[in-house]
Structure 1
Amino acid sequence: MTTTSEYNPRLHVGLLEELVTNVSSTDFPGHYPDEDHSWDLSKFKKKLQVKVQKLSARSIEFDLVGVDASIANALRRILIAEVPTIAIEYVYVWNNTSVMVDEVFSHRLGLIPLNVDPALLEMKASPSDQATDRNTIVFKLEIECTRNTAAPRDSKDPAVLYNNSEVLAGHLQWIPQGEQADVFIAHPPAPTVPGTVLVKLRPGQAIEMEMHAVKGLGKDHAKFSPVATASYRLLPHIILDEANPVPPHLATRFRDCFSPGVINVDPTTKKVSVDERGVRGETVSREVLRHPDLAGFVKLARVRDHFIFNVESEGPYEPQRLPLEAIRVMREKISALKAAAEALRAQGEPDGDVQMAET
């Protein structure tokens, strides 16, 4: 991307001091005379780019370039709400003398991320379906707090004074059912963060319960969402006015109006330039536009079809697998829509036009 290029309302979203301009894309059939914007697969393939920028054990940052905002937002929404995961759904409490009531503790258990690969389990068609080893993972929690008779007299640390003073996610015990011992031999079901504190106990308090985890979707309950966050932002675009460069005595103030590393100032000539690698970190606070003596040297924008995605995994999925799972779900939805359209066409008017069904 050339940061000194002219502002193009067809490619960029403009950012003024108190206004955002050219928000909607205009590249659709009929908007520009003598221009063909009908769907073309070869053109789409040529424009489409997907590039991973950062990858860690829990998160991924990647660029999605060359698609409309509707596609990017559909991908984000699917990541949050329609990629399946496994979570605790049913809790059978036999004994709970802790300070946390059954309902609150059950809700807390449901929010524990589990490392179970959803591909290894079937989804129940309805809550009333019979629980089997194909659709249910069983956990047990049996723990009691007692005094540590060997604790030093002057100790005040509950972890030293008592045994099992804290109930952790790691205390959940997986109880294999049917063939599950063989299916999950490589990765036994367990919480992804064993050290998560669920509740604190004191001597005489105990918990005994059984939990059933099932496959579900985030649109039904947030506990089934596979991500901690899935968001995107448009790539910032900073356009310096080459015909009206920033004066040397204003260069430092101009640089300080942006995020660190975005604007470079030559130590000798005091010439201002944009660091294209640093632009990704710009927050586009528009601070520079608040100063009348600086605002005339720059235009701020965002690239309309360049989306910077940030996705954090909280379940069994590796971060790089999450976008692929979202695309798989999107393809299934498109296939279902295509089949429905073809069915309507088959029973439609003689000219073959698809008629909109009344709802």
Structure 2
Amino acid sequence: MAGCESLRLQMQRVSLVYSNQVQNDLKVRITLSILAFSGFQSTARPAQAIRPSANFFVKSPNMDYDPMVMDQESSGPQVKITEAGSHHVDFELSNVDLSFANSLRRTILSEVPTIAIDRVQIEANTSVLADEFIAHRLGLIPLNSKNCDDVIYTRDCDCEGNCELCSVTLTLHARCTGDEIMKVYARDLVVDPQRANKWVGNPVITDPDGLGPVIAKLRKGQELRMKCIALKGIAKEHAKWAPTAAVGFEYDPHNKLKHIDLWYEHDAAKEWPKSKYADWEEPAQEGAPFDYDAVPNNFYFEVESIGNLEPDAIIQQGIKVMQQKLAAVLQDLTEGDGQANGGGYDAPQSPDVGMNGHGWQDPGYATPYGGGNAWGGAGGAGGAATPYGATPYGQNGQSGW
């Protein structure tokens, strides 16, 4: 409980290092998303609502949301954007522990919801590819997942199959009539306008020609005709719902903490070149005593999107999922009847003592071997027999030694 409370306080204490590198709108949005630990909203709260005495904040001309105060305190988590683009972002996260950084990485990688093709109804396929091959390719085509919170999970929908509230329908019909090989691209997918919003379900196309990934190749007379149903999901269910191609972080570039042993033949410095983040930290002083209590404090993240969500949205959703999971744990731990945490839980937590401090009372159920408790005894007094006529400690509860 104390650990969860500490993590919640750590997530709420937020500050920003406002460097000259944070200039364009994308970098500002990513920074605000990472720092919104306490709100987890797509728009930051007004400056005066957070801290009336704050004396500066970031406001970009093209921002469509209220500015968020940039706290000058250095005791909370800090974020510095090192590089940002339309499909990737590199940032430094400091003043957090390793478990928090790794939790953020794993959440971004596998628990951010997106939209992907999940069901394919093939009406005609005379290509050389089997139905399963084409269905698998369609599932891995990135689909725009902007504002996918407007789409509900199919398991939560009241419809009998799928509807515009829980799915997006795409159709594909291609037929080769010429002598040349015809390529079928993602752009050939037609999205049904009946959907949650105007963004979800559109194939992500990033190549200069505007074609998208190749689905299949057709010769003269061959045809593809199918209906695709895109659903909302997370990468824990299947990799096709992953919002990122790669998420990783690095810490201690000089290996001052000795968390890894570098195997080398002659010279470790030459055989293990330093990463680009080595310039961000001071190397260990030669001959300095080793600090056994040192822990990593700076983590260098690299997030690469596949295009279905912008990097700032991915990070924001990842933090939102983390807060929801933490809130669920805190709620479960604090539920009860006014006694100690967990006191309202009526099942036995210990063979001897319950969470409320009182002795555990026998509920009166019987085991397959008879008796009134979980070990086959009557009220805890040995003597119950197994199907073979003896207890684990000897015949009729007597010592077998």
> Structure 1, residues 296-346: CA drift from partner, whole Å, max 9, x if none?
789999971211111111143111221111111111111111111111xx2
The corresponding residue for 1:145 is: 176
Residue identity matched to 2:161: Q
| Corresponding residue for residue 80 of structure 1 | 109
Gaps of 5+ in 1: 1-27, 30-37, 149-160, 240-252, 263-276, 285-294
Residues 61 and 308 in structure 1, CA contact (< 8 A), matched pair in contact too: yes
Other-structure match for 1:48: 77
* Structure number with higher relative contact order (C-alpha < 8 Å, ≥ 6 residues apart): 1
Contact 1:88 1:110 in 2 (8 A): yes
User: How many residue pairs align between the two structures?
Assistant: 263
The one-letter code sitting in structure 1 at the alignment partner of 2:316 is L
What does 1:149-164 align with in structure 2 at a 5 Å threshold?
161-162=180-181
Change (3 A) 1:195 1:280: farther
CA distance in 1, matches of 2:246, 2:311: 11
CA contact (8 A) 2:204 2:212 kept: no
Paired amino acid for 1:87:
A
Tell me, yes or no, if structure 1 residue 319 matches structure 2 residue 308: no
Alignment of 1:157-236 (within 5 A): 161-162=180-181, 165-177=182-194, 183-184=197-198, 187=199, 189-193=201-205, 194-236=211-253
Change in 2 beyond 3 A, CA 1:41/1:95: closer
Residue 113 of structure 1 aligns to a residue whose secondary structure is coil
Residues 1:107 and 1:299: Cα distance change in structure 2 (over 3 Å)? farther
Match of 2:57 in 1: none
SS of residue matched to 2:221: coil
SS in 1 for 2:308: coil
Q: Deviations over 1:271-293 (max 9, x none)?
A: xxxxxx752599x9xxxxxxxxx
The gaps in structure 2 that reach 5 residues or longer are: 15-74, 206-210, 257-266, 350-401
Could you say which residue in structure 2 is the equivalent of 1:354? Answer: 342
Q: Secondary structure at the match of 1:125?
A: helix
* TM-score, normalised with respect to structure 2: 0.57
| Aligned pairs for 1:1-359 within 5 A | 41=9, 46-117=75-146, 118-125=148-155, 129-148=160-179, 161-162=180-181, 165-177=182-194, 183-184=197-198, 187=199, 189-193=201-205, 194-237=211-254, 259=273, 279=279, 304-343=296-335, 346-347=336-337, 350=339, 352-354=340-342
Aligned Cα root-mean-square deviation (Å): 3.6
Q: CA deviation at 1:65?
A: 0.9
Which letter maps to 1:192?
A: V
User: Does the residue aligned with 1:114 lie in a helix, a strand or coil?
Assistant: coil
- Between 68-77 and 211-220, the greater mean CA deviation after superposition: 68-77
Work out whether residues 79 and 91 of structure 2, in 8 Å CA contact, stay in contact via their aligned partners in 1.
yes
Residues 206, 297 of structure 1: CA spacing in aligned structure 2 closer, same or farther, 3 A cutoff?
farther
Structure 1 pair 49–129 and aligned structure 2 pair: CA distance change class (3 A): farther
User: Offset of 1:354 from its aligned partner?
Assistant: 3.5
Contact 1:235 1:303 in 2 (8 A): no
Indicate conservation of the 8 Å contact 2:204/2:307, yes or no: yes
Q: Which amino acid in 1 is paired with 2:333?
A: A
Counterparts in 2 of 1:197 and 1:303: CA distance versus 1, 3 Å: farther
- Distance between the aligned counterparts of 1:102 and 1:190, measured in 2? 22
TM-score w.r.t. length of structure 1: 0.63
- 1:240-281 CA-to-partner distances (Å, cap 9, x unmatched) read xxxxxxxxxxxxx9986664897xxxxxxxxxxxxxx75259
